[in-house]
Amino acid sequence: MAQKQTSHPTACLALADGTLFYGRGFGAEGLTQAELCFNTAMTGYQEIMTDPSYAGQVVTFTFPHIGNTGVNPEDDETADPVAEGMVVKWDPTASSNWRATDELGSWLAKRGRMGMGGVDTRRLTRAIRQQGAPHVAMEYREDGQFDIEALVAKARAFKGLEGLDLAKNVTCAQSYQWDEMRWAWPDGFPKRTEKGHKVVAIDYGAKRNILRCLASAGCDVTVLPASATTEDVLALNPDGVFLSNGPGDPAATGEYAVPMIKGVLDQTDIPVFGICLGHQMLALALGAQTVKMNHGHHGANHPVKDKDTGKVEITSMNHGFTVDSQTLPAGVVETHVSLFDGSNCGIRMADRPVFSVQYHPEASPGPQDSYYLFKRFAEAMKAKATA
């Protein structure tokens, strides 16, 4: 069903500097405070909205055709949307895709998340780039009655993501096994049945497709909560440890995650692989530092150079913090860099199979340039087992 048209705005986005954007709401009525970011991906809006790394953020989509393929359960990266809301140029139209089982607006409404259409997203994106990711308050009311003063005050009251540990809000409540592999025509997601490398995956906000890629690469995956200790991890006698993506300030999550990682590195020589927040956690554990970016990297067209091979990968990214490459200690090598701004996108220990990347090799943004990283992790575990 197409979005119902009204003669007045039914949604308002207030920036902390007092700038206002009006539009038409869809999804669930309500009000939220968040950090505002923009994403340049042309596909994958459902995956983006359900990516736990977007906790605490409203996402502006620069591509105008959002909602036209509907939604379906297979594309969820976690059970429900995690992003606080979405801002789009054009109102979502009726879906036109054979995989769709629901419309974007009704899907959001059922899950308590709001969207806002009819917005000049080019202007909004310029504002984000110029002033950094702003703090915002977003409200959807069918009657269009907004208390603008109060809305701007709420935007200004938002404390931001710096110093905020959000991994604890999106991690699993208890450990579980994962055996689902990557999607394959025509049967969907097959189950892993063969014995494989025992991998403990630490869930800081893990996307389902990352776990599928680990399973497809030959791993028997046990997922542990973000608060897992070194003892919890080593009690499972893993062949390798995976550190997942996730939201928030890495330094805050590092308060409890870094001691666990250091313990694993000190007490074992097993392979360790990290993605996104997991990359930042590993860097902190090795002695580096992280910093907040101006507006972050969010999209599916980010070129990253592999400094070891000289190859360029087209990657999917979603992060607002980055590892400061100037703080990498001796024995830690920078392996990947962004060709957009030169920021760090990968590290490895010089003498051990311990490595991580800032981008998302599981997201397949058109190409599958980065899937080799899962194979590298599996090969490192195999090499250790046969050494």
Closest CA to 3 of 22, 27, 21, 32: 27
Identify any residues that bridge with 291 across adjacent strands, giving them in sequence order. Answer: 322
Provide the annotated active-site residues: 276, 360, 362
Task: Extract the tokens encoding 296.
Answer: 């972050």
For the chain, give me the number of helices (H) and strands (E)? Answer: 10, 17
The upper half-sphere exposure of residue 151, i.e. CA atoms within 13 Å in the direction of its Cβ, equals 23
Alpha helices in the chain (DSSP H): 45-49, 104-110, 121-131, 148-157, 167-170, 208-216, 230-234, 250-267, 277-286, 372-386
> Please, are residues 157 and 33 in contact by the beta-carbon 8 Å criterion?
yes
35-68 burial, b at 16+ Cβ within 10 Å, e below that, comes to bbbbbbbbebbbbbbbbbbbbbbbbbbbbeebbb
- Name residues whose C-beta falls within 8 Å of residue 343's C-beta, 6 or more positions apart in sequence: 293, 297, 322, 325, 337, 358
Length reported for the chain: 387
> Please, are residues 249 and 258 in contact by the beta-carbon 8 Å criterion?
no
Distance of CA 252 to the CA centre of its chain: 17
Identify any residues that bridge with 313 across adjacent strands, giving them in sequence order. Answer: 304
